[in-house]
Structure 1
């Protein structure tokens, strides 16, 4: 029998984060390896969750003169806009591939569908949110464009290196976050952007760059690439983009007085909190693929 004053030990936040990662990472690896239709479904699911999280944040009222947390709006005030965002995201994801689950669909070009999504999401939120309705339109860009990029990267119809490219991106993002966290905690020093993210340091950024460069080195060796040093430099550059993506999401949450986008992933907050860097990196790599007419791994 436990002593009268004893209390059950709480599981540390770090332990919860590790346990969540051990569950989530294998799922991501499996669906990425399987490709269609599983990866399509996975991206659509997470895009829908991110759209809901974005609408949840943008639907909060905040008085800049009041330092207390922003008051949350009733569910009915942001649910409609959130559902509209989800519908638009699904439309854009369909357009990105031209087919989903093996079913061919006739939809608008990507840029047109994205523009329509921004306009509709803004108009849908306008009656309830007035001038802040533009944030819902921006949510379409923030969620849908990276989702399209991930599908583009995984398919890679030109070189057929989609799985290798996606594995490199995922490893790079995880390594950057881990290196930044380890260096930031152990070295400390000047803050990177204290007004946006007080915990980030320049040492952490450097640690993330080094970790990403190591991923580039290992990837180059495994794939037998002729210019490994170029991939290391590119990986280090993408680490900077990854950290910028993290800061952008932090600035958005701070604008509306929220710490986490949701509490869906134990120990990590929401999906947006976990993949903010991945969203930025996926767009950058997809752009390199598009303008380079082939996988980055094939022309480095």
Structure 2
């Protein structure tokens, strides 16, 4: 973690302590919620997605309460409708909300930029993806745990490999600290975590899950860049201040959001979802 210009001595260490304490409290709570599943998991997804909606509309829509209502509605639809009315209904309702959001933006004389057009999908679809991936069985629980491990390992390895090796920048105009070395570190971390979790969980397809972990690591880094581009476009440092030492919810889940969508798409398109998600079954 780099020192900020003008920061008092030891400020970074205090910030690191706050980040560590926050993580020590939140991560176990989230993992327990994933393990329990059912309504508790849906409530967690809904809560995080509504928080994302709040931060997104604060940044992109200048704190518009009507846009927040639409984005929050997409969050709730993604978290609950796949269970109560099916995934197709959830997707249809989120699509209607997306159209309403665009119509409202035009009525408010807003230019239909990428950020204005993508908010509802960016919030509603990942919520839906998490609910589909978790399902109601042990395979779903392992899927989410595996995804967390891959994303966290990729993020950590990208940071440390990038700091140690340095080298050419990955996207200097968007995120000046990201390097190509960090990206390859993320790929290695994702592959190792994907294979290791699969091995210790007793899953059969170690090679497939290792390769999938490497691919999702790339997607995770792209998700991080997407959120960095959003903040750079609107001139904000953090998406919010909700999580002590970590910024906002969007700051913490950017890579996870992208990876969840990619994993859900892979499982659905490959047909694993129709076979009881056998990729993560024992």
Name the CA distance, whole Å, in 1 between partners of 2:96 and 2:71. 11
| Offset, 1:136 | 4.0
Aligned partner of 2:61 in structure 1 is: 59
Structure 1 residue aligned with 2:19: 17
Shift, 1:93, TM fit? 3.0
Question: Which is helix-richer, 1 or 2?
Answer: 2
Alpha-carbon offset, residue 151 of structure 1: 0.5
Instruction: Give unmatched runs, 5+ long, in structure 2.
Output: 1-7
Q: CA deviation at 1:18?
A: 1.3
Q: Normalization by structure 2: what TM-score?
A: 0.87
Normalised TM-score (structure 1): 0.82
Residue 131 (structure 1) aligned with residue 117 (structure 2): no
Per-residue deviation, residues 130-188 of structure 1 (Å, max 9, x unmatched): 2248744421100110110000000066xx50011110000111111111111111111
Give the direction of change, closer, same or farther, for the CA distance of 1:121–1:299 in structure 2 (3 Å limit): same
Identify the range of structure 1 (116-125 vs 28-37) with the bigger mean alpha-carbon deviation.
Answer: 116-125
Aligned length: 270
- Tell me the residue number matched to 2:52: 50
User: Cα distance, 1:230 vs. partner?
Assistant: 2.4
* Alignment check: 8 A CA contact 1:217 1:229 kept: yes
Provide the C-alpha distance between the structure 2 equivalents of 1:9 and 1:135, rounded to a whole number of angstroms.
37
1:106-150 superposed Cα distances (whole Å, 9 cap, x missing partner): 997133212101111222333335224874442110011011000
Q: After TM superposition, give the deviation of residue 244 of structure 1 in Å.
A: 0.6
Distance 1:8 1:220, change over 3 A: closer
Alpha-carbon separation, structure 2, partners of 1:298 and 1:210: 21
Larger Rg: 1
CA–CA separation in structure 1 for the residues paired with 2:148 and 2:86? 31
Q: Which residue does 1:94 correspond to in 2?
A: 80
Q: Does 1:80 align with 2:66?
A: yes
Q: Does 1:281 align with 2:259?
A: yes
- Unpaired segments of 5 or more residues in structure 1? 1-6, 61-74, 99-104
